[in-house]
């Protein structure tokens, strides 16, 4: 079993952090998305959509999508509980995972992919040509900043995103913050709750994946 990934890319980071929290060791194979290796036939045979990460099982089957990969390992080894323990907690983790992805990560991705030369004709993770739309970059940055305010407000109510327990939502938020800094969407003095939370999460062993 192995995971195809690109170490410093945000979606692989989500899986890396999750696996450290779970204490699961796995073989990683690097696919250099910067030089387009993920759009070459060898990798497209593994994931036809070209995105990383992708998990290849020992029987050859492939699971792509970061959250699906995490869910696969969670089903094999439920503890420690990262997707919540009680039904309520599970619902909240799912809710915040989706909000962080839809309201945070996607706009930041849209900003980057619609403004950077590196993504010319590659505005979505798909091997087919997709033209950039500069207005989406502008809107993505605005929405990224808006999300900083929203999540700061949420964190004024609880220690972690969904309550008193660390969860996948915290991993997603931590990765979002790093990704957002690429487009200069960065918490400031108005985001004290978020800054305090970031300090807390940065002390976890799993946050060290950002050093690799």
Return residues touching ligand GSH (CB under 6 A).
9-11, 33, 38, 50-53, 65-66, 122, 125
**Distance between CA 165 and CA 110 in Å, rounded?**
31
CB of 82 to ligand GSH, least distance (A): 16
Ranked by CB distance to ligand GSH, the top (closest) residue is 51
CA torsion sign, 88 to 89 to 95 to 99?
Answer: positive
CB of 104 closer than 8 Å to CB of 176: yes
**Distance between CA 51 and CA 53 in Å, rounded?**
6
Select 22 or 191, whichever has its Cβ closest to ligand GSH.
22
**Distance between CA 72 and CA 78 in Å, rounded?**
10
Select 32 or 188, whichever has its Cβ closest to ligand GSH.
32
Select 50 or 162, whichever has its Cβ closest to ligand GSH.
50
CB of 110 to ligand GSH, least distance (A): 12
CB of 50 to ligand GSH, least distance (A): 5
**Distance between CA 29 and CA 173 in Å, rounded?**
25
Select 75 or 157, whichever has its Cβ closest to ligand GSH.
75
**Distance between CA 155 and CA 32 in Å, rounded?**
35
CB of 89 to ligand GSH, least distance (A): 22
């Amino acid at each position: 079993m192995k995971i195809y990934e690109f170490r410093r890319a945000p979606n692989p980071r989500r899986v890396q952090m999750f696996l450290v929290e779970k204490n699961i060791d796995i073989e990683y194979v690097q696919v250099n998305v910067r030089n387009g290796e993920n759009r070459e036939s060898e990798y497209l045979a593994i994931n036809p959509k070209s995105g990383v990460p992708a998990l290849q099982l020992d029987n050859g089957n492939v699971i792509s999508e970061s959250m699906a990969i995490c869910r696969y390992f969670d089903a094999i080894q439920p503890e420690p509980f990262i997707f919540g323990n009680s039904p309520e907690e599970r619902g909240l983790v799912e809710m915040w995972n989706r909000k962080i992805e839809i309201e945070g990560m996607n706009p930041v991705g849209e900003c980057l992919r619609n403004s950077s030369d590196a993504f010319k004709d590659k505005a979505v993770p798909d091997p087919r040509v997709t033209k950039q739309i500069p207005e989406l970059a502008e809107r993505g940055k605005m929405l990224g900043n808006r999300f900083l305010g929203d999540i700061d407000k949420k964190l004024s109510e609880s220690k972690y995103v969904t309550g008193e327990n660390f969860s996948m939502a915290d991993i997603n938020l931590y990765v979002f913050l790093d990704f957002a800094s690429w487009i200069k969407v960065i918490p400031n003095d108005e985001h004290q709750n978020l800054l305090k939370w970031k300090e807390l999460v940065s002390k976890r062993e799993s946050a060290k994946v950002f050093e690799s």
